Each structure stands twice: as C-alpha cells, then as structure tokens.
Structure 1
C-alpha cells in the first residue's frame, strides 16, 4: 500500500459463488475491512460480471492492482465466462491490474470451449529437504498451542513441562520426522498435517515424566510405532488415535475418517440397500408409490419368519443399479453419473467400507449388472457419517416421526436396528427431500 500497489488475495474454495468472489475482490482492492460497524458485510451487491466490471471502474485509474487466486482450479467448476474474464481484466477495465492464478494443475487442464488467452507460466520447483524443514519449523507455535489446549482439557493442569519443549527440541523432532517421511511424501499439506498429529504422542512421555526432553534416542524409540502407522495411512486421514494397537470401534473410526461428499451418500445408500428388501425400495423412496394392499396378510407372513430378519442374517448383496437408484433418491440435488462418481465406489471398497460379493471382483463395475457389493459397516458408523452428510435423525423426537417409527416396528416386527434405519428413511420422506431424478431412477429400477 505504501508503494500504491493494492493486492486482493482470494481463496477459490471459500469464494465458491460469483457473488462471494466478486465482492471479495472489490472489497479488498478498495481497502474495505469487515467490522461490526458495517455488520461484517459489503454494501454493494455484485452478482453478475457487469456489476463486477462497473465496480472496478470506480477504482483509481492511476493505481496498480494485483489479484491472487488460490486454488484456481476451482474456477473451472464455476461460470464458464469467469476464467476468461479474469484473464482479460486489463483489457476490460483499462486498469493496471494483474491476475495471478495459483494451482497445482498445469494450465492445459484449464481448457474451455471458447478458448483462453495466452498467459505467462511460472513453474515453482519442488522444495528441498532444508526448505521443507524450515516450513515445518514455522509450525512450532501452533504445535505448542495444541499441546497446551489438550493439557487444559485434561484433569491435570500442570503445564511446567511445556517449558522444556524449546525450538531446538522441535527442530530435532522435525529432522526425525523428515527422515521417515521425506522419501515417501513431498506434499507440504500432508507433511504438515501428519507432523502435527505425530507431535502429540511424541511429547506424551515428557508430559508423564518417563522420558526427559533431552533423551532423543528413547523418544525416537517411543514414537517409532506411531510413525510407522502414520506412514502406512498417509493419505487416508485415519489419525493416530489408535497407534497403541487398541481396537477401534465403528463410532470412533467414523469420527476420524474423512470421506468425499458424495461418498458419504453412497455409503448410506449402500447400507440401506444391504439391510432393506428390494421390493420395499419403491415404497420407501418414492413419494407417490400408491397404496399398499393386503397389509394384514403381509404382517402374518412376516410374523412366521421373524427369526430370519435381514439384520440378523447380515447384510445382503446388491448391484450397482440399485445402489445408484437409492443414492439419487436420498441426495437433495441432481448429479450426473460420471467417472468420478463411480470412482467413489472403488474408494469405499479400498477403505473396506464396502466389499465385493460377486466372483468378478469388481470387473463389471462399468457394466453395473455383474458386480454385487455388500456394506460392511454398522448402524453407528452410518449414523455418524449421516450426521456429517446432513442426513442425521435430527427430528427423531418429533411426535409424527416417532409414531411412524413405532408403527413400522409393529407392522414389520423389526428390532431396534431396523427401527432406527426405517426412521431415517421416514424422516427423509417426511422432509420431502426425494428429488424427481431420484424418483425416476427408483421407478426405472423397480420397473
């Protein structure tokens, strides 16, 4: 600002709409700060490109401006005219403005049908080990803050041992950490994440008083098993909470695993497909499915085989068509069937959340008629994943939903697991989140 240069730093992940992107750029270039005085909002409403260009015209024409867009690859999923607009801002506004796109993808991946103007490409070389060590050592303050926060949540508030964790101690830990992970991973984000996770168990013997902070050899022996487990689960986001070999429950595993957005819905759909009869799909997932006749006869027939319920026999196999039909029924948006969506199924199988039940072992995945799958997780895991995917039982205490659940329990002679799962489905139907596309898929599948 002292040299007359104004800079706007934009994160394309947080600015996921045109309105957020345009307002953030103009606000930073104008020097407007979000404060209680302006109610943490911008007084202008910029939703379209013409409004954005008109707002830039009010800037000082003698000034110089720089717009830095981080995670620029996210712009490809936004409006088609957005990327050409940013690359031609100097011509469109007449200002001395430069746009810097920061991305891990090459510019050839930014192809659009209308074409893009030529740009200046700057390739950043990989970090050396010394540079990576300096980057990780900059996280010293955040690592100590995490230790202090964890100590504050514990029963003992003795924090005198934190004074022994000096910057030299942290430097030794970083060198030890890079000696294990440098040949396997060069990604800064992954290394910073795993280094923060492993630093907590590295300092546990110092907090307990069993190993002094100056005994690097015994600290190395103590952390070896944790580093080995973290090395084997580098990109799986499983954490190091069970590094001591303790068995992990489904609830805790669901809290520490991170699945993509659509993979969560695929996993919920897989659970519903494994624990629900095929002939009940139309009644459960389609709004106008018609009246169900001969209910009393169905009750009597099911009462004779109550010992052989689905949940007691274990999860049943289902094909890809049924999985996708239920997926589109519970998803509150219209999504195309792409290769990325099908790859999420392979990811769930790789994580042992789904298992192949057919002899082809997934060879017919593209066909969809051969491969059969099973869901291997329980109801508790699905409930936590559903809570992260906004499919939780948030209205269980409402009288209408509870009555529906009790009614289903009386009619179908279900146990507690089936009751909870049916309540989820009934809640989704109650909230009318079944899309037309989902109804079409269910109707196509059921015939």
Structure 2
C-alpha cells in the first residue's frame, strides 16, 4: 500500500509520486490533504519555507505535474516588477487553457491589479479549468509561496489573510545518503555506489548540506573513486584501498565547494589529458569559477581597488577602450610592494567608479549590481569592513589571490596586469 492516500487519484499515480519524492512523505501527505479533490475549494494561500535545497520547489512541482493539477510557476526574482509578474501568470494561464492546434494567443498587457482580475477571469473560462482549483505558485485560486525566509519577516504592516505555513526541514545525513544512493550508474551495484556516497558525506557533510551541491560533487569525483576498480587493481569491496586512492582528491575538492569551478564534462576531459602521474587537475582555486558576468568585473574592480593606491586611479582608469599607454611611475619612498602588504579597504563609490571604467558596456547602478556585491561577500570573496560607519558608507576588501583574479580575468578577456601598480 502506498504511504500517500487520496480517494481521487489511482494507486499507481500515488506509488509513482512516492518514488519520486523520497524523504518528504510527511510534507506530501499534508499537501494532499490540503488540496482535497479537484472540484473542492482549497486553502487560499500556502507558505512553504525552509533552507535552500530542502526540496520545496522540487516537491511542489513534482506533486502538481504528477497529479496533473492546473498550475503556473513564477520566479519572483526574474519577475522583479508587478507588471512582469502579472503578465507572466496570465501568459502561462493562456497556455494552459489553449489547445495544441490553436494558434498562439496574442501577448497580454497588464498594468494594474484590476486588469489582472479581469484578464484572469477570461483566461480561466476554459471548461478544463472552470471547475478546478488553479494553483498559482470568481475561480478558486490557491497561491503557494516558496521561500527561504520565515513569514514573520515578510508579513505586511497593513495586515493580510495569513497563509497556511508548511515547514520543510533540512535533509538529515541519512536522507542525503538515501537520495544520493539512488543516482548510482547502472554499470555499478547499488551497494558499491552507496559506500562511495557514505565516504563523500563523511568528508563534505560537516561543511555542506546542499543537496544540489552534494549531487554535483558526487558526479564530479566518482570516476576517481572507481579508478582502481577500472584498472583491475582492486574490487568493489576493497573499501580501504578505494579510500586511500580518493582521500587526497576529496580534500583538494573541498576548496571548490559552492564555487562550481568546473563541470563534470570538463573534469573528465582534463583527466584524460597527458600530465604527471597522479596529478590532480582541474581543481585549482583559479580555474573556471562560475560567477555572473558582472560579478567577475566587480571582483576585478575590487582587486584593483585593494592593491592600487587611490591616487593612481585617474591614470589607470581614464577611458582608453581597454588599453593604456605604458608609463613609469616615480615610486619614491616606496620600498615594499602593495601585494606584500596585503589588501587595503576601499569605499563602495570607488569600487563602482572602477567598474564603470573597465566594463565596455554601460552599466546602470541598479539593484542587480548591489545584490551581486552582497553575493561576493557571502561567498567570502569580498570582506565588508567598517559597515557601522553610516556617514561614509560601507568599505570592502578583496580576499582573492593574484593567481585567482588572473584566472577570472582571462574568462572575460581582461588583462589585469596592465592595471596593477606593482607591475609597472
């Protein structure tokens, strides 16, 4: 008998759902009881919250798709204005109510919430949607909010109808072991891959609980783990020898957690290249860090601001289309390199001024740029200093090494050495 029970859905559907969402039986059972039958009114709003990679989005999307419930899914980060949000919802509703043979509907323009209510009624006039609850992640509409923030921090001051909260706790190490073990390659046994996952979690679980990141690390390092088996030097039960072969490999891979420096396909190609025997390739700290385009330039600007004297900014960053004339500065009374003294703090306005000078395209100081600065601080690539000084604003320091920033610069075709005071 399936763990999930619901009189409206066949047992085969519930069994398939059970296999697709392991370790979230309690949450799915709660959602099934809230949804009820298709023609019944459901709770008007749900607030699902929990830390990142706790299965919120995956469980919700799997549940709605498997049960074939009419729904739309909207990313509120991408739809950063109310107009974009409302038009995206209406566009998905048009797709739900139209048939495959119908011509594509014209795009809708929705400027106000009153327009949205009027267009929503028109979009849900289809007989398929008329008698069913519509889930939007005069018709019954259930709004499902997915967040990593608790509701108390989002509650409006003007008051509102309180949503029904549902908490998704973090996966335990046992849950992670069970979920990751199901990803085993078909050419290897389940027990062999489960033993590998046990070793992987023993190394990474104290510093990383993110299921997506752990799944990426498992794929990235599995080839190294089974290398002795492939070469005929050990069998699948020689756990001690397999551990010795991968121990140093995993310790070095600890430097890449969350930075996603290299993809699995790139990793496999690097291991096939000729090189020194036993050398670990592709995990250096300055490989291919996956950062947004402007985040890379922000990090380059931060490095230049940390290691160049402020008085040299005018000479370096006057517009020359990426090229400057070679010139010799008179370094009087300077006996020590700035790189030996370490990074110096710099204000936010200097960081942005350098950014606008080194980026070819025009960049507006919008919320996206400031959020990327915050992300760099979260990743500990930048350090926030003097944040209590409200008069002068925040100050930052760059935490990365010269080799690291040269690797970042190469990915955007920027020659950072030409802009460093110490290398003139």
CA contact (8 A) 2:259 2:289 kept: yes
Measured at CA, do residues 371 and 125 of structure 1 come closer, stay the same or move farther in structure 2, by a change above 3 Å? closer
Is the aligned partner of 1:187 residue 2:210?
Answer: yes
Distance, in Å, in 1 between the alignment partners of 2:97 and 2:354 is 43
Determine the structure 2 residue equivalent to 1:435.
none
Q: In the TM superposition, what whole-angstrom CA distance separates every residue of 1:43-94 from its partner, at most 9, and x where no partner exists?
A: 323453444333311113732234353xxxxxxxxxxxxxxxxxxxxxxxx2
CA contact (8 A) 1:320 1:369 kept: no
Structure 1 SS opposite 2:135: strand
The unaligned stretches of length 5 or more in structure 1 are: 70-93, 145-162, 288-297, 355-361, 394-415, 423-447
Return the offset for 1:265.
3.8
Alignment partner of 2:353 out of 322, 326, 329: 326
Determine the structure 2 residue equivalent to 1:212.
235
Residues 383-394 of structure 1 aligned to structure 2 (within 5 Å): 385=408, 392=413
Distance, in Å, in 2 between the alignment partners of 1:17 and 1:272 is 34
Distance, in Å, in 1 between the alignment partners of 2:96 and 2:394 is 59
CA contact (8 A) 1:66 1:98 kept: yes
Alignment partner of 1:7 out of 71, 79, 84: 71
Residues 345-360 of structure 1 aligned to structure 2 (within 5 Å): 350-351=380-381
Alignment partner of 2:162 out of 118, 131, 134: 118
Residues 107-186 of structure 1 aligned to structure 2 (within 5 Å): 107-140=151-184, 144=185, 164-182=187-205, 185-186=208-209
The structure that is helix-richer by fraction is: 1
Q: In the TM superposition, what whole-angstrom CA distance separates every residue of 1:287-334 from its partner, at most 9, and x where no partner exists?
A: 8xxxxxxxxxx99xx6695x99x9x95548654237435356447122
Residues 295-444 of structure 1 aligned to structure 2 (within 5 Å): 313=337, 315=339, 318-321=344-347, 323-324=350-351, 326-327=353-354, 329-330=356-357, 332-335=363-366, 350-351=380-381, 364=386, 366-367=388-389, 377-378=401-402, 381-382=404-405, 385=408, 392=413, 419=418
Structure 1 SS opposite 2:143: strand
Measured at CA, do residues 37 and 189 of structure 1 come closer, stay the same or move farther in structure 2, by a change above 3 Å? same
CA contact (8 A) 2:288 2:407 kept: no
Measured at CA, do residues 191 and 44 of structure 1 come closer, stay the same or move farther in structure 2, by a change above 3 Å? same
Structure 2 SS opposite 1:25: helix
Measured at CA, do residues 44 and 190 of structure 1 come closer, stay the same or move farther in structure 2, by a change above 3 Å? same
Is the aligned partner of 1:55 residue 2:119?
Answer: yes
Alignment partner of 2:108 out of 34, 45, 48: 45
Q: Which moved more, 1:202-211 or 1:314-323?
A: 314-323
Distance, in Å, in 1 between the alignment partners of 2:250 and 2:143 is 41
Is the aligned partner of 1:253 residue 2:285?
Answer: yes
Determine the structure 2 residue equivalent to 1:67.
135
Distance, in Å, in 2 between the alignment partners of 1:38 and 1:18 is 29
Is the aligned partner of 1:270 residue 2:302?
Answer: yes
CA contact (8 A) 2:306 2:344 kept: yes
CA contact (8 A) 1:270 1:375 kept: no
User: Relative contact order: is structure 1 or structure 2 higher (C-alpha 8 Å, sep ≥ 6)?
Assistant: 2
CA contact (8 A) 1:25 1:67 kept: no
Determine the structure 2 residue equivalent to 1:159.
none
Distance, in Å, in 1 between the alignment partners of 2:79 and 2:394 is 42
Measured at CA, do residues 257 and 38 of structure 1 come closer, stay the same or move farther in structure 2, by a change above 3 Å? farther
Structure 2 SS opposite 1:122: strand
Return the offset for 1:19.
5.6
Q: In the TM superposition, what whole-angstrom CA distance separates every residue of 1:368-409 from its partner, at most 9, and x where no partner exists?
A: 69989577644x754653576xx645xxxxxxxxxxxxxxxx
Alignment partner of 2:89 out of 25, 33, 49: 25
The alignment's TM-score, normalised by the length of structure 2, stands at 0.56
Measured at CA, do residues 177 and 248 of structure 1 come closer, stay the same or move farther in structure 2, by a change above 3 Å? closer
Structure 1 SS opposite 2:133: strand
CA contact (8 A) 2:308 2:338 kept: no
Distance, in Å, in 1 between the alignment partners of 2:338 and 2:108 is 55
CA contact (8 A) 1:236 1:257 kept: yes
Return the offset for 1:121.
0.8
Measured at CA, do residues 178 and 265 of structure 1 come closer, stay the same or move farther in structure 2, by a change above 3 Å? same
Structure 2 SS opposite 1:271: helix
Measured at CA, do residues 223 and 101 of structure 1 come closer, stay the same or move farther in structure 2, by a change above 3 Å? same
CA contact (8 A) 2:307 2:344 kept: no
Superposed CA RMSD in Å reads 5.2
Return the offset for 1:187.
3.3
